[in-house]
């Protein structure tokens, strides 16, 4: 049985009134997610705004995640950066504080050949003995991790355990699984289809707001109850559409804050904040649809 499987919220990185990390809010959201059935976390990924965090902040959030988790579930810490040198430093730190695995987007901004991408992951893999996950996010990075490129990575980077597949070609999930990769689907609205293709679970930002719904999909599918899994997937897709429809990731930060009762702050600039009108809409819809019981 794979160690990395199930429901992994891409957790937010809450901010305080000065724009710095809000440790109290991060801990509250993580604890709520663990209690609600999360199997692990994708820390400081896209929803966690990692590319807008300083190197020190990325290191600190790894420390907080490990301390709050206390080994109960897995933390996959994103250490990807614009330069290989920074990614190495963040990987070394993540390993030193006790995360269970690391992950990284491929080199971005400048177009580089496949061999340079492989070398980047090879160097990151050699930093520690931790499992390494590739983060396939072509809309943001401009790099598509194809099955062909993944074969090269598998052959030359033995530390690679799998990937978060947020690429546009869903059928590649089967290809990655056939290679022996732990392949997480990167879209909460495609968890059930992904599982039928062999995916080991889901990683996405909206999951952070209502992980129990995606846990319903997981439990029903593992138990062979496809009708129940389909019903849960419809709910999950509804949550996904609500949160991705306006001001993501501000929408997730706002509703996570409403759920745990702690202000999770604003996104880092240049990401736009949610207006008061948008917040009222999100809150109203979440209450009306039953996603914030007791409100």
Q: Mapped to the 3 state alphabet, what secondary structure does 184-207 carry?
A: EECCHHHHHHHHHCCCCEEEECHH
> Distance between CA atoms of 151 and 184, rounded to whole angstroms?
17
Q: What is the pLDDT of residues 100-157, one digit of tens each?
A: 999 999 999 889 999 999 999 999 999 999 999 999 998 888 889 999 999 999 999 9
In the chain, where does DSSP find H-type helix? 23-35, 55-69, 84-97, 114-126, 138-141, 147-156, 172-178, 191-196, 211-222, 226-245, 250-260, 276-288
Q: Is the pLDDT reported for residue 295 higher than 80?
A: no
Where residue 281 falls among pLDDT bands split at 50, 70, 90?
Answer: very high
Q: Is the pLDDT reported for residue 2 higher than 60?
A: no
Can you tell me which residue has the tokens 């190495």? 88
84's tokens: 């290989």
150's tokens: 């993944």
Q: How many CB atoms lie within 10 A of CB 290?
A: 9
> What pTM value is reported for the model?
0.96
Collapse the DSSP code of 40 into the 3-class scheme (helix H, G, I; strand E, B; otherwise coil) and give the result: strand
> Distance between CA atoms of 98 and 110, rounded to whole angstroms?
32
State CA 292 to chain mean position distance: 22
> Distance between CA atoms of 273 and 95, rounded to whole angstroms?
33
Burial of 168 (0-12, 13-18, 19+ CB in 10 A): exposed
Q: What is the pLDDT of residues 176-220, one digit of tens each?
A: 999 999 999 999 999 999 999 999 999 999 999 999 999 999 999
């Amino acid at each position: 049985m794979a160690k990395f499987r199930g429901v992994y919220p891409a957790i937010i990185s809450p901010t305080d009134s000065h724009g710095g990390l809000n440790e109290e809010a991060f801990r509250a959201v993580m604890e709520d997610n663990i209690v609600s059935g999360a199997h692990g976390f994708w820390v400081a990924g896209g929803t966690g705004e990692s590319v807008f965090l300083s190197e020190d902040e990325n290191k600190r959030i790894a420390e907080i995640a490990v301390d709050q988790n206390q080994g109960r579930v897995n933390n996959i810490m994103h250490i990807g950066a614009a330069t290989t040198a920074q990614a190495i430093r963040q990987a070394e730190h993540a390993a030193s504080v006790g995360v269970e695995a690391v992950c990284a987007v491929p080199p971005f901004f400048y177009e580089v050949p496949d061999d340079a991408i492989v070398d980047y992951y090879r160097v990151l893999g050699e930093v520690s003995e931790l499992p390494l996950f590739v983060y396939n996010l072509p809309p943001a990075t401009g790099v598509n991790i194809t099955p062909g490129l993944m074969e090269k990575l598998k052959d030359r980077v033995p530390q690679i355990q799998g990937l978060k597949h947020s690429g546009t070609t869903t059928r590649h999930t089967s290809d990655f699984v056939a290679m022996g990769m732990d392949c997480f689907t990167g879209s909460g609205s495609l968890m059930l289809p992904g599982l039928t293709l062999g995916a080991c679970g889901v990683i996405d930002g909206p999951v952070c707001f209502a992980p129990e719904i995606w846990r319903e999909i997981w439990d029903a599918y593992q138990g062979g109850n496809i009708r129940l899994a389909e019903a849960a997937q419809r709910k999950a897709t509804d949550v996904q559409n609500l949160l991705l429809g306006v001001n993501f990731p501000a929408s997730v930060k706002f509703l996570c804050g409403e759920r745990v009762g702690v202000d999770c702050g604003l996104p880092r600039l240049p990401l736009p904040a949610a207006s008061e009108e948008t917040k009222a809409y999100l809150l109203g819809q979440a209450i009306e649809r039953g996603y914030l019981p007791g409100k």
